[in-house]
Amino acid sequence: MEPKILRAPYAAAIIKLLQGPVYADDKNTWRDILGWQSAIQEYFGKIGMQLIITEQDGFARVLQPEAGEDEEQPLPRLMKKQALNYESTLLAVMLREGLEEFDVRSDGTKYFLTQKEIKERIELFYKEQTNKSKLWRDLSKPITVLLNIGILKLNREDTVNKDNNQYEIKRILKAFINNEKLEEIKQKLAHYVHTL
């Protein structure tokens, strides 16, 4: 007979955190993360990871620190790093700035844009194109990239005209691009544009 395994009361929260960021909207998991914060942090600490809770923006995530030079056997990476191309980085920076502006002028917690609004913002950074419909098709690619990595979340889908799709810009973007990183990326993008 198999011995019965005692499951920790915060096991579901740990699994959700391993799947990706957890937002305050997920009320039960959020309550468990806050209530069992010490135990969850201890669990992740044993496997070389950190629990990061950003209450003001309403999300929690797990971070795997870079291996130190003094480590004899660095741990394998659980989470893959994903490099973004120029277009996706440009869009992420624009959305990050938009989120900052939204926070200053609004008391809302969720920031939404339609696909058309996103394309109109990023279109300004492209040289004049004679084929506007091709440009707009191309501008869908960075939106898809940010959707796949969880920075954008499809909130409302329009099956007739995709430009009417509405996306929520997830607050995890602030963790990926903090203010210091934002300035650094903006300088690199400006340098890249000048070298073209």
Please, which pLDDT band fits residue 162 given cuts at 50, 70 and 90? confident
Strand order in the sheet with 166-169: 111-114, 166-169, 152-156
Residue 62 is predicted with a pLDDT of: 94
Residue 127 is predicted with a pLDDT of: 66
**Dist CA 96 CA 109 (whole Å):** 14
The dihedral over CA atoms of 101, 142, 167, 163, expressed in degrees to the nearest 10, equals 110
41-76 residue pLDDT tens? 999 999 989 999 999 889 999 998 877 666 677 778
The dihedral over CA atoms of 62, 68, 73, 79, expressed in degrees to the nearest 10, equals 30
Asked whether the predicted pLDDT for residue 31 surpasses 90, the reply is yes
- Cβ(115)–Cβ(164) below 8 Å: yes
Q: Which two tokens stand for residue 114?
A: 């339609």
Residue 186 is predicted with a pLDDT of: 72
Mean pLDDT, range 117-138, rounded to an integer: 76
Instruction: Give the single-character DSSP code of 130.
Output: S
**Dist CA 56 CA 178 (whole Å):** 14
Residue 196 is predicted with a pLDDT of: 56
Class of domain 86-195: mainly alpha
**Dist CA 170 CA 174 (whole Å):** 9
Question: What single-letter amino acid sits at 34?
Answer: L
- Domain(s) labelled CATH 1.10.10 in the chain stretch across 86-195
**Dist CA 103 CA 40 (whole Å):** 30
Listed range (88-92, 139-143, 167-171, 187-191) with the worst mean pLDDT: 187-191
Those residues whose C-beta lies under 8 Å from the C-beta of residue 115, and which sit 6 or more positions away, are: 140, 143, 162, 163, 164, 165, 166, 167
Alpha carbon 76 to its chain's center:
22
